Amino acid sequence: MKELKLTPEWVLSNLSGTLSSNLHKKGTGLIIIYGFQDALNSQLTELAFETLGVNYETEEYYSDDSKTDLDTYYIFELEDIKDECPNLYKTLKDMND
């Protein structure tokens, strides 16, 4: 049987909008990524942070005026992913310098 192996770096790079225009710097060292409405993506994003031992906060927001599409912000310290997600760290650092 074949296995599918996902790393936290892959999840955060591909499922949470971190490598798109959805990335913002909230303050010194804080990164905000937008979670998508898909429940599986949100669960995998949270699992990635928990696997890494990264503290994060979430904030929910509506992405439309009718308030039907609820999305999530994930807020974390950039330095917290430096060792375990070196490629993502470099990309985020470069985007925010």
- Predicted pLDDT of residue 82: 94
- Is the Cβ–Cβ distance between 71 and 60 less than 8 Å? yes
Q: Which fold has domain 8-96?
A: Endonuclease I-creI (3.10.28)
pLDDT value at residue 19 = 45
What's the confidence (pLDDT) of residue 7?
Answer: 95
Domain ranges of the chain: 8-96
Place of tokens 């049987």: 1
Tell me which residues of the chain have a pLDDT lower than 70.
17-28, 35-37, 63-64, 96-97
Residue-wise pLDDT for 73-96, tens only, equals 888 888 999 999 999 999 888 876
